[in-house]
Amino acid sequence: MKAWKDNIRKIDPYVAGEQPDFPDMIKLNTNENPYPPAPKVEQAMKMQQAERFRLYPDTNATPLVKALAEFYHMEEDQFFIGVGSDDVLAMSFLTFFNSEKPILFPDITYSFYDVWATLYRIPYRQPKVDENFYIRKEDYMVPNGGIVLANPNAPTSIGMDASDIEEIIQRNQDVIVIVDEAYIDFGGQSVMPLVNKYDNLVVVQTFSKSRSMAGMRIGFAVANPELIQALKDVKNSYNSYTMNRPSILLGVESVKDVDYFYSTTNKIITTRERVKEELRKLGFIVPDSQTNFLFITHPKLDMNDFFNSLREHHIYVRHWNKPRISEYLRVTIGSDQEMDTFLSFANKYCKL
Amino acid sequence: MKAWKDNIRKIDPYVAGEQPDFPDMIKLNTNENPYPPAPKVEQAMKMQQAERFRLYPDTNATPLVKALAEFYHMEEDQFFIGVGSDDVLAMSFLTFFNSEKPILFPDITYSFYDVWATLYRIPYRQPKVDENFYIRKEDYMVPNGGIVLANPNAPTSIGMDASDIEEIIQRNQDVIVIVDEAYIDFGGQSVMPLVNKYDNLVVVQTFSKSRSMAGMRIGFAVANPELIQALKDVKNSYNSYTMNRPSILLGVESVKDVDYFYSTTNKIITTRERVKEELRKLGFIVPDSQTNFLFITHPKLDMNDFFNSLREHHIYVRHWNKPRISEYLRVTIGSDQEMDTFLSFANKYCKL
């Protein structure tokens, strides 16, 4: 074997949901938004001057920070912008989790957390969610090197009350608590206002779900200015210019179109509630969701078989061959038309 | 002090060149290209459908990889794409430099190398370039944990012969040798073809300089498929989707416009040679450059004073208060008109 192979960082990479691309497919497998970005995004794109691309972008994505600070009524120095929330979260792990004690996150949660911990050699422990997939707050009141909670949680779709999260933050003031609110705009209770109360809290959100901009890669963290500066220092030690010009420009337009944002998130919530009721009528077990997806199972059906059958009919949902969740599917809420096709298939399948 | 502060990664961040933005300024401080991106880039941008932004981008930036493989006559599995060459280089440090032995790079070179080494806690040693700023190949023929060479080197503008670099690669087959060719298209000798001969070679290039796309953040590595896979595994353990949709789409158009690429790089080379001769006539010492900048000093002038005087007249160049190079300025090659203004100012300044 070549000697250089000894010093290569070997890692089992995170495997993202498949990205099939057929004209007639129904893609409900990666929690993308069925609606286009705000109309102003398209207009701004067409107005862009390519001539400006020759210049480096703003390293702090200042126009986007200003727009977000205004929208959320926070200060500009409380924001950090990254290439999707994955970039922001990975950077946060590297910046904040340098203790010898294990960090804590649930056994069933976003499957990138253990990958980042492994990448950066951060010890971790995963308390089990209860039999109904609820996070038990007591599990996070033990000595630890930091905490990461997805709220609402993925792939379970279940949200936690802000008061329970506050209790966890309050009881862990010696470490950083990251709350990953990727899906918060679909009905969850954000803890962003608590950033002004607790200096150990980092709230992370994304433009990929509620803002229909997964293809633009924009995420952000909100925290006290000292934590934000630490993130910026690490980021500027990695790559000074991570956000390209179109992301900054189009991100601003998305934030400014407030009405469109509420109207599309509400449409998705309405569709989700309808689909949930329909699935329950078919005998599916469906926890109440605070996200743009449903986490479903059926006492009489094999979910892997159902997954494959959907797939054969070009309806893509997500399934994991993992302990505790192998009998569940995660189904993204698409347009009403897409969900009708899905429901009609589920209906026939249940009657087979 | 709050306990959480103990576990924050503290680092002196890389400080990028200032990014002033006045209407009448002449910006020769961050090695940006004075010409706009290829005309097809603007056309493609206006043709983009914002509706597609709701979907995640291609994790491997496949269309861009295909275009690059065709342009460089290499295989697709020899390419790794990142958010500027900084992203590619930082990821390469994390992936390839996990030895206890120090990695080697020159004392005068791109100032991000020691920052990445510090960020990832990689030991490093910096052999001194000679009194004329030439890299001494013998210095890289000692035990080490890896090698990074910028060729042509920055901020010196001096290129190395490909045969000398090959000797270094050949003598270091137990470690990874990274050759950072950010400026290679302005007259240097690329070692990219050697990737097919040496499996320990990683060549990194960027769209920020010769392709006028600093604002789009596109860089890439070329290496044997095993090294590329290791990079992809680490990248996919960090962020599956780093390249947004516009970067992939517009990057392809840039690569396809071959004539424009050669015509603009040649224009810059022509301007550079003219400016070099003019500066020498004024008594400046200017090494031959293989880049889109000149590294200049003057035996009778204080370069810090000259820098400040240029700045007062809204002509921005780069100066470092660092050992060995504090009496030098790095001057990006702008348009002929911009360089005439710079030369006219230099002319007057020399006669004061």
**Whole-number pLDDT of residue A309:** 97
Q: State whether residue A146 sits within 8 Å of chain B by CB.
A: yes
* Contact yes or no for B230/B96 (Cβ under 8 A): yes
- Residues of chain B found within 8 Å of residue A15, distances taken between Cβ atoms: 236
Q: Which of B7, B59, B84 sits opposite A145 (nearest CB)?
A: B7
Phi/psi of residue A212, each to 5°? 55, 35
For residue B317, pLDDT over 70 is answered with yes
For residue B224, pLDDT over 90 is answered with yes
What is residue A332's three-state secondary structure?
strand
Q: Are strands B147-150 and B177-180 parallel, antiparallel or unpaired?
A: parallel
For residue A166, pLDDT over 80 is answered with yes
Instruction: Give bridge partners of residue A180 from the DSSP assignment.
Output: A150, A204
Contacts of A225 (CB under 8 A, 6+ apart): A75, A77, A78
**Whole-number pLDDT of residue B280:** 98
Residue to mutate among A92, A241, A338, with most B CBs inside 10 A, is: A241
Tokens, residue A193: 């206002």
Q: State whether residue A24 sits within 8 Å of chain B by CB.
A: no
Contacts of B215 (CB under 8 A, 6+ apart): A52, A53, A54, A55, A56, A57, A244, A245
Tell me the average pLDDT of chain B. 96
One-letter identity of residue A276: K
**Whole-number pLDDT of residue A21:** 79
- Residues of chain A found within 8 Å of residue B14, distances taken between Cβ atoms: 236-237, 240
Sign of CA dihedral B258, B251, B63, A22: negative
Task: Judge: B247–A244 Cβ closer than 8 Å, yes or no.
Answer: yes
Inter-residue long-range contacts of B105-110, CB under 8 Å, 24+ positions, other chains counted? B105/B147, B105/B148, B105/B149, B105/B150, B106/B135, B106/B149, B106/B153, B107/B324, B108/B133, B108/B153, B108/B155, B108/B156, B108/B324, B108/B325, B109/B148, B109/B149, B109/B150, B109/B153, B109/B154, B110/B150, B110/B153, B110/B154, B110/B180, B110/B182
Task: Judge: B237–A11 Cβ closer than 8 Å, yes or no.
Answer: yes
Q: State whether residue B26 sits within 8 Å of chain A by CB.
A: no
d(CA A5, CA B24): 52
At A177-193, the pLDDT tens digits run 999 999 999 999 999 99
**Whole-number pLDDT of residue A22:** 81
* Contact yes or no for A122/A178 (Cβ under 8 A): no
Task: Please compute the mean of the pLDDT values over residues B135-164 and round it to a whole number.
Answer: 98
- Residues of chain B found within 8 Å of residue A4, distances taken between Cβ atoms: 96, 173-176, 200
* Contact yes or no for B96/B235 (Cβ under 8 A): no
Task: Please compute the mean of the pLDDT values over residues B142-158 and round it to a whole number.
Answer: 98
For residue A217, pLDDT over 80 is answered with yes
**Whole-number pLDDT of residue B148:** 98
For residue B15, pLDDT over 80 is answered with no
Peptide bond into B299 cis (omega under 30): no
Name the A residues in 298-337 with CB < 8 Å from any B CB: none
**Whole-number pLDDT of residue A205:** 98
For residue B158, pLDDT over 90 is answered with yes
Task: Judge: A55–B242 Cβ closer than 8 Å, yes or no.
Answer: no
Residue to mutate among A21, A26, A41, A56, with most B CBs inside 10 A, is: A56
- Residues of chain B found within 8 Å of residue A37, distances taken between Cβ atoms: 50-51, 53-54
Q: What is the dihedral of CA A118, A120, A125, A126, to 10 degrees?
A: -60
**Whole-number pLDDT of residue A333:** 98
Among all residues of chain B, which has the CA nearest to that of A247? B244
Name the A residues in 260-299 with CB < 8 Å from any B CB: none
What is residue A205's three-state secondary structure?
strand
Q: State whether residue B94 sits within 8 Å of chain A by CB.
A: yes
**Shortest alpha-carbon distance between residue A218 and chain B (Å):** 9
What is the gyration radius of the CA atoms in chain A, in angstroms? 21
B12 pLDDT band, cuts 50/70/90, is: confident
At B235-282, the pLDDT tens digits run 999 999 999 999 999 999 999 999 999 999 999 999 999 999 999 999
Residue contacts between A and B (CB atoms, under 8 Å):
274
**Whole-number pLDDT of residue B10:** 85
For residue A16, pLDDT over 90 is answered with no
**Shortest alpha-carbon distance between residue A72 and chain B (Å):** 22
**Whole-number pLDDT of residue B17:** 66
- Residues of chain B found within 8 Å of residue A234, distances taken between Cβ atoms: 9, 11, 13, 119
- Residues of chain B found within 8 Å of residue A213, distances taken between Cβ atoms: 53-54
As a whole-number percent, the residues of chain A with pLDDT over 70 amount to: 99
**Whole-number pLDDT of residue A97:** 97
d(CA A151, CA A166): 12
Contacts of A300 (CB under 8 A, 6+ apart): A283
A17 pLDDT band, cuts 50/70/90, is: low
At B187-219, the pLDDT tens digits run 999 999 999 999 999 999 999 999 999 999 999
* Contact yes or no for A83/A217 (Cβ under 8 A): yes
Contacts of B59 (CB under 8 A, 6+ apart): A16, A19, B236, B240, B241
B80 pLDDT band, cuts 50/70/90, is: very high
Task: Judge: B46–A46 Cβ closer than 8 Å, yes or no.
Answer: yes
**Whole-number pLDDT of residue A35:** 98
Q: State whether residue A2 sits within 8 Å of chain B by CB.
A: yes
Q: Which of A3, A41, A55 sits opposite B174 (nearest CB)?
A: A3
Task: Please compute the mean of the pLDDT values over residues A42-61 and round it to a whole number.
Answer: 93
**Whole-number pLDDT of residue B55:** 96
**Whole-number pLDDT of residue B3:** 87
B14 pLDDT band, cuts 50/70/90, is: confident
Residue to mutate among B54, B120, B243, B248, with most A CBs inside 10 A, is: B54
A352 pLDDT band, cuts 50/70/90, is: confident
Q: Which of A54, A56, A97 sits opposite B35 (nearest CB)?
A: A54
What is residue B341's three-state secondary structure?
helix
